[in-house]
Amino acid sequence: MIRYFFSNIRKDMELMTKSNSMIVPLQINQGPGQGEVASLVCAVEEDLTRIATALAGVLVPGDVLFLYGALGAGKTTLVRFLAHALGVGAEQYVSSPTFALLHEYHGRLPVYHMDCYRLNDEVDVEEAGLLDFLELEGVTIIEWPERLGSLAPINRLDIRIMIDPQGRREVTLAPCGPFWRSRMAQVIPMLH
């Protein structure tokens, strides 16, 4: 499903003319059993703020966001914008928790930012005690979530960030589970 969206995004990007718009929504589709999936293009890294603001408006305690993307794709930058949209002040510097595994920030909701890059698999995740944070009353954001394996929660929002050859970020928001499927209808209008 995701490959289909990205192949169409690339085709649509070739047809687009330059626009002053920060984010260009290219597709909003309904996949079988998925709910609405939004695919967008961000011309510059700062354009991720609109996505962060849209998500912050619907986040509730217990939400989990999975961030997929290569090194340097903008995962931590999106977390920084999201944390600020949730009221995390400038005195709390949002950075990658690659070596610490977890950073915690306090705003309207607590933000638990995990980076599983240095872990091998779900056994390492469990041994590091990171699963406990999935049950807390905050927002848990996980970079490199594939390391969770079968421990991944059913209700989550998968966010995939890819960089095209021109440096634009292709961002796909895909809901997993009934909680996120119902809330995508609130997120999508805020992305336009």
> Is residue 16 one of the residues assigned to a domain?
no
> Is residue 138 one of the residues assigned to a domain?
yes
pLDDT, tens digit (0-9, with 9 covering 90-100), for 46-99: 889 999 999 999 999 999 999 999 998 989 999 999 999 999 988 888 888 777
Q: What is the mean pLDDT of the chain?
A: 80
- Vertex 106 angle, CA 127 and 45, to 5°: 90
> Is residue 168 one of the residues assigned to a domain?
yes
Q: What is the CATH number of the domain that holds 125?
A: 3.40.50.300
The domain tally of the chain equals: 1
pLDDT, tens digit (0-9, with 9 covering 90-100), for 96-135: 877 778 888 999 999 999 988 888 888 888 888 777 877 7
Distance, in Å, from the CA atom of 73 to the CA atom of 88, rounded to the nearest integer, reads: 22
Residue 166 CA, distance from chain mean position? 21
pTM > 0.85: yes or no: no
Range of the domain at 118: 2-9+25-190
